[in-house]
């Protein structure tokens, strides 16, 4: 299985959108402030629907909010 | 700490503070091994349950009055995921306990020992439920 982790730019995007608060972002997409904080810190992966909603709030494509950082595993010897 | 985490802590503490001493007491007392109908343990269980309800009631009231409406939002997807995970873990504890109590204990025990064992596994499942909730919120918090 491919290994990797999800990173995000929510903090940056909030800053670029007039220092939008976590609570305000959460309110606009139906999540709590704590959930936004957990997503931002990479401790909770949101549902696809929530991810699209976040991107919609910032008016950017999904790929600009969330990125998949693939980890390259060492190739196995034959 | 979120309102839901506080509620989970309250429920966990109320459970440990009441049923902990209860099981310690019935585990020691010879009355718990007497055959049914022996109503002393039932009275003790009722008392413990009432105390738990009181702790929960006062705790809920305190937390509700101390948290404004905006700090008590409806469940979101993370809350539901945590709830789902905790119930899933508690279910296995409950099933294991009920199998032990229902299938094996009748061959070795009688009366209140079986009743208390059943109550113990229900309480254990609930404790696991709240522990997983608390742990999940803690892990995802800063």
- Counting every residue, how long is chain A? 78
Count of structural domains, chain B = 1
Copy the structure tokens of residue A17. Answer: 């959108």
pTM as predicted: 0.82
- Is this complex's ipTM strictly greater than 0.90? no
- Indicate the CATH number for domain A3-60: 1.10.260.40
Say which of A35, A37, A41 has its CB closest to residue B76.
A35
Burial of B23 (0-12, 13-18, 19+ CB in 10 A): middle
Query: What are the pLDDT digits (tens) for A1-43?
Result: 888 888 899 999 999 999 999 999 999 999 998 899 999 998 9
CA distance linking residue B80 with residue B99, whole number of Å: 28
Q: Do B2 and A34 touch (CB under 8 A)?
A: yes
pLDDT in tens, chain B (142 residues): 888 889 999 999 999 999 999 988 887 765 555 555 667 778 888 999 999 999 999 999 999 888 887 778 888 999 999 999 999 999 999 999 999 999 988 888 778 888 889 999 999 999 999 999 999 999 887 6
Domain assignment of residue B25, given as a range? 3-140
Q: Within an 8 Å CB–CB cutoff, is residue B67 touching chain A?
A: no
Give domain limits for chain A. Answer: 3-60
Rounded to the nearest angstrom, the minimum Cα separation between B133 and chain A is 14
Which chain A positions have a beta carbon within 8 Å of B142's beta carbon?
A: 37, 41
């Amino acid at each position: 299985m491919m290994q990797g982790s999800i990173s995000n730019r929510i903090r940056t995007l909030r800053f670029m959108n007039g220092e939008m608060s976590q609570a305000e972002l959460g309110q606009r997409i139906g999540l709590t402030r704590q959930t936004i904080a957990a997503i931002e810190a990479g401790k909770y992966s949101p549902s696809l629907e929530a991810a699209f909603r976040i991107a919609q709030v910032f008016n950017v494509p999904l790929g600009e909010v969330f990125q998949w950082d693939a980890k390259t595993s060492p190739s196995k010897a034959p | 700490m979120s309102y839901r985490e506080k509620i989970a802590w309250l429920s966990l503490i109320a459970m440990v503070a009441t049923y902990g001493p209860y099981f310690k007491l019935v585990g020691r007392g010879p009355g718990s091994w007497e055959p049914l109908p022996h109503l002393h343990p039932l009275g003790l269980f009722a008392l413990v349950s009432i105390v738990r309800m009181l702790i929960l009631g006062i705790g809920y009231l305190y937390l509700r009055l101390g948290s404004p409406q905006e700090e008590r939002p409806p469940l979101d997807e993370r809350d539901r995921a945590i709830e789902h995970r905790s119930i899933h873990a508690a279910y296995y504890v409950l099933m294991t306990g009920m199998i032990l109590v229902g299938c094996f204990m009748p061959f070795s025990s009688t009366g209140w020992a079986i009743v208390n064992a059943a109550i113990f596994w229900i309480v254990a499942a609930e404790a696991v439920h709240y522990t997983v909730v608390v742990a999940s919120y803690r892990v995802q918090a800063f």
